[in-house]
């Protein structure tokens, strides 16, 4: 089971990697900035629909929000 603190950490990391602030991610995903803030702080459990919206706004997969960003090996 993935804990909400882990999802929050992964969300923050993905957002930083994309160079977005919370307001920009809110606009890109349709998820409120207040919700994003609560999720990143580990104070809110995300609904599946929220995870889908965030993943779409981040151009990421839901699994990356749950288990961490993908690490690509150099070719």
H-helix segments, 1-75? 4-17, 22-29, 33-40, 48-58, 62-67
CA–CA dist 55, 50 (Å, integer): 8
Give the predicted TM-score (pTM) of the model.
0.91
**How far is the C-alpha of 46 from the C-alpha of 24, rounded, in Å?**
19
pLDDT tens for each residue of 47-62: 999 999 999 999 999 9
Give the whole-angstrom CA distance, residue 31 versus residue 25: 8
pLDDT in tens, 14-47: 999 999 999 999 999 999 999 999 999 999 999 9
Map tokens 């349709």 to a residue.
Answer: 30
The domains found in the chain, sorted by start residue, are 4-61 (1.10.260.40)
């Amino acid at each position: 089971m993935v804990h909400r603190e882990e999802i929050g950490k992964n969300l923050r990391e993905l957002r930083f990697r994309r160079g977005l602030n919370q307001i920009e991610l809110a606009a890109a995903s349709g998820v409120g900035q207040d919700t994003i803030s609560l999720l990143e702080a580990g104070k809110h459990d995300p609904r599946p629909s929220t995870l889908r919206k965030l993943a779409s706004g981040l151009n990421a997969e839901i699994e990356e929000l749950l288990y961490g960003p993908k690490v690509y090996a150099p070719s």
